Structure 1
Amino acid sequence: VGVAFWEKIIQEHGITPEGLYTGNNPQQIERANVYFTEAQGGRYVPRVIACDLEPGVLDTIRQSKFGGLFRPDSMINAASGAGNNWAKGFYTEGAELLDQVLDTIRQDVERCDLLSGFQLCHSIAGGTGSGMGSLMLQKVREEYPDRMMSTFTVVPAANSSDAVVEPYNSVLSIHHLIENSDMTFCLDNQALGNICLNVMKKPLPTLGDLNSLVANVMSGVTTSLRFPGQLNADLRKLAVNMVPFPRLHFLMSGFAPLTSTQVQSYRHVTVPDLCQQIYSTNNMMVDVDPRHGRYLTCAAMFRGKVSVKECEDTIWNYAEKNASSFVEWIPNSTQIAVCDIPAIDSKLSATFLGNNTAIQETFNRVGEQFSKLFRRKAFLHWFTDEG
């Protein structure tokens, strides 16, 4: 997921796989230093730290088209793997790598003029993303308590599973996410697969297709940080508007326009179209039906040549018509941001974030699976052996 995001924003900023700027719009590079460090010879280097407890994934990145872009010392991996075990990632294997990772973070932070916060991409089903992800969250929070911590978290899907112990890993991680994260954008492969099948009409979606959907959302959420716009919303501003109570920071996300490639050239996208799509259940990137709950707060981020007034009017009209979907004790609960620079593949696009009470369905599902295993004390010895 992380690599898909970097590939996306490298293209948006007009940077080549070698790290050189070849764009034609000065606005592309005006605020590139939010995500990139400018090195010698005008090379732009992503400010990223990639860690894993096994070498396979990072080796793939090193050998990819964009492999030469990342700093070698920002790719940190062990050799043994976490074996889908949260305790290995948190207590044993992950803890051994921790000092090296924190040291690299410290060096990167010292190079910053003004550190806004951290973004963590991980999955809470396996061992590394859940265990080591929780450990990183906790330690970074201790070292930088006043900085924003946002996470893009892939939660286990309802009908597909890589590991039997997913419910254990997830429950242990969710506790850390509740305590140590300021904003958590929930994603799941089931919902992403459904979008590819039903909305984009791809009969056999690959992981690359799913990742590019997530990259769209990540790129949309961070647009206001990366480009000058008419109405900006940085990470902190977003969190202030989206999180009414500290523990309720688990957000659903959506993106528009999503259409099949055959239909794309026949459609003219308008702001009302986008509004209808981003609130649609089919476009949600987590397997939850927002109609089963109510929205506490929402954010809509528009990109492209569009009038702020039109965006505001469309969103207000939607909120008035569907007043029953929003809680009445937070008036004007939708925040809007507008950025003039369009996404690469569409002239007009919108990213949606919603803090909806229906997100509890995800946690209930994981909780039920956890209880079934825990009642029988199944697989527990793998965790207790690690401490």
Structure 2
Amino acid sequence: MSERLAAAVAATRHQKEWFAQTAARARDGEQIAIVNADVPHEILRALDIPYVVTQWWSSIIAAKQVGPAAMERVAARGLPDFSLQYDAMPLGEQDLPADLRPWGGLPAPAFAIAERSGDVTQKIFEQWGARPGTEAFLLSRTAADPVPSRWWELVPHEWETAFGTDRLDLLQAEIEELIGWLEERTGRRLDRERLAEILRLGNEHAEWNRRTRDLIAEARPTPVSVTDTMPAVMVPQWHRGTQWAVDAARSLHDEVAERIARRHAVCPTERRRLMWIGRGLWSDLAMYQRFQEEHGAVFVWSMYLAIAADGYRRYGEDPIRTLAARFVGITDQLYVPPWSSEWYLKEARSHDVDGVVHLVADDTPGGVFITEALEAAGIPVLEIRANNADARSTGAARIPERIDEFLRTRVPGRA
């Protein structure tokens, strides 16, 4: 077993301490928010409103093995427990017995904010808005047309070209509406100079992630496990716009560089390099390391570091419009072809992968096109349909067994 990254350990410890402080503030009467990953968190940071990200909280619920119990509570409310569990699980957590709630449980939020990435997400956040003491705010989801090639080269500076004026106009107007909505309810006023500084720190953070991603792409053998890079990258993402997040990203980069310099190997017998497309399997992170000893198979890539490297850098004069540019195309970049399929193929080639495991959830459009693009380039793909946070779903999908068969039958080993 490879030694753990200090950056991953530090990030996990920081997040647990941060959550305890945030929960204490909420229980003392401070207003907090629950938000999905695709809304402009930077507005909340600039207004000093603590927020918890739905997907992160679901990952904690799943890791603590209470995901099925939380979904049973969702079903008990007369709601479906088989769709968008990654978004719905925190609703069920609210109704769990105190002794089952991770880290003492999420206090009732004052605000629930989401992007309408689908009908179900909207309905889930409407349920939050129906809870006593919680109000919901929903942002629009728009589609890309036309679609630019090699978006990752355009979006840092030429985002107006990449996304189109109409899309940016709409989201910019809705962000302004969100600001007014929050100001009215908190009695605070947005400091736009502070917001600009938050965006600057976010760009610095993303530049460190880009350097780290590039180091790992070029390294042979693989110096770090995705089980470490996932928390080391994603915890700072939820603190984007702070000096702590920048320092955490720099620490991760420096630790990866040091490992490469001494030729540290996650798997000294590395013979197969794998890419994991889709959300992290939070209820069973150990799964990613199960195939190293027998197959010499190492997961060298996950979307978390890669999208942190390519997806968030935005440079511009107007902080609100620049923030709109940061979020208007996040779903396109990850899931909507040809944005997504072109990017995943670029990443597969730069990381020199031998095979891809593609976890497709029920709310991720265009999965078949991603698989087809990789297969057409000669990269074998194992497509698995399951929800990453719901142990019932991943158990039924027999993920380890199918990966083992995939490695035996479709992914030839290197010398």
Give TM-score scaled by structure 1 length. 0.25
Q: Which has the higher helix share?
A: 2
Q: Which has the higher strand share?
A: 1
User: More relative contact order in 1 or in 2 (CA 8 Å, sep 6+)?
Assistant: 2
